Amino acid sequence: MKRNTMSYKVRQFLMFAGIPTVLFIGVIIIPFIYGLYLTFTSWDGVSKAKPFVGLSNYAAAFSDTAFWTAMGKTVLYSAISVVLVNVLAFLLAYLVTSGIKGQNFFRAGFFIPNLIGGIVLGYVWKFVFNRAFVTIGKSLHIGFMETSWLATPAGAIACLIIVSVWQYAGYMMLIYVAGFMSVPKSLIEASQIDGCTKSQATWKVIVPLMRASFVECLFLTITRCFMVYDVNLSLTKGEPFNSSVLAAMHVYNQAFTYKNYGVGQAEALILFIVCAVVGVLQVQIGRKGEVGA
């Protein structure tokens, strides 16, 4: 059979990518299209009837102050978390590639938190914030630790940030480790021969050549933080007084708790578009910098 024929190409595609393509369509594309259809209905999630309401769900979503409040908290939480995750991950990657003793052990140890599911992680840290820290604070008379941080609105958001940084930093560390290891040692040695100190070689040679790692890590942390739900559910449940409800939790409550599937799907689509726009812009800006480097 000739390799340049359409039938040969189709058979090759079906052989290697047929099953993944079917699964992708069944799990991602079809549910997305169905969800898009629900944004134009007033379905309650139970009845068979799905009355068509046009764009009224989008109007309700844009006028939903609770949704935009949750979106604002999500932006604040994401901005702080993204910066802290990437700073910590970069420092950890620098540490475990500097030739210290047992660096492979430290790599595994720092990565382990990422293997723990968000629900379990939230419950573990809930015990830490409610019991462990409070007990230590009362025993040592440390004022800010004598009461649970989860009991205040600002403290609950701070707890979400701490847990997210602890969870994501190890995974991003591996990407930065790969970036450090991809830099040719000959360039580093040449810079040191030319008079650069170790720190100057890091910032003037290594960091500019790691732009791809920075772009990848920023994209992953931005998308993960914008779509966080499991940790939000198990750690705070939106408390106190719904002050820590992030966008994904609000969307879930709108659809599955209040049975407003149409409005919930419309808000989910808005959240998806915001997340996609921010992620794409970040990648485009990062790639321009990478080309110019």
Residue 293's pLDDT is what? 43
Tell me the pLDDT tens digit for each residue of 239-248.
Answer: 988 899 999 9
Residue 262: the pLDDT is 92
122/12 Cα distance (integer angstroms): 45
Q: How many domains does the chain have?
A: 1
As a whole-number percent, the residues of the chain with pLDDT over 70 amount to 97
* Amino acid symbol at 123: Y
pLDDT at residue 292, as a whole number: 45
Q: Count Cα neighbours of 31 within 13 Å in the Cβ-side half-sphere.
A: 6
In a domain, residue 99? The reply is yes
The CATH number given to whatever domain includes residue 274 is 1.10.3720.10
Domain assignment present for 183: yes
Residue type, 149: W
- The answer to whether residue 47 is domain-embedded is no
Which pLDDT score, from 0 to 100, does residue 156 have?
A: 94
Q: DSSP string of 219-285?
A: HHHHHHHHT--HHHHHHTTT-STTTT--HHHHHHIIIIIS--HHHHHHHHHHHHHHHHHHHHHHHHH
pLDDT of 155 = 93
Q: How far apart are CA 91 and CA 98, in angstroms?
A: 11
Domain range enclosing 264: 57-288
Confidence at residue 163, expressed as pLDDT on a 0 to 100 scale: 95
pLDDT in tens, the chain (293 residues): 566 778 888 888 888 888 999 999 999 999 999 999 999 999 888 888 889 999 999 999 999 999 999 999 999 999 999 999 999 999 999 999 887 888 888 888 888 888 888 899 999 999 999 999 999 998 888 888 888 999 999 999 999 999 999 999 999 999 999 988 888 888 877 887 777 777 788 788 888 888 889 989 999 999 999 999 999 999 999 998 889 999 999 999 999 888 899 999 999 999 999 998 988 888 888 777 554 44
Q: Is 221 part of any domain?
A: yes
Q: According to the model, what pLDDT value does residue 291 have?
A: 44
What confidence tens digit (pLDDT) does each residue in 20-52 have?
A: 999 999 999 999 999 999 999 998 888 888 899
Count CB-CB contacts under 10 A for residue 148: 17
125, part of any domain:
yes
24 in any annotated domain: no
> Is residue 25 one of the residues assigned to a domain?
no
Query: For position 72, what pLDDT does the model report?
Result: 95
User: Looking at residue 61, what is its pLDDT?
Assistant: 94
Q: Is 41 contained in some domain?
A: no
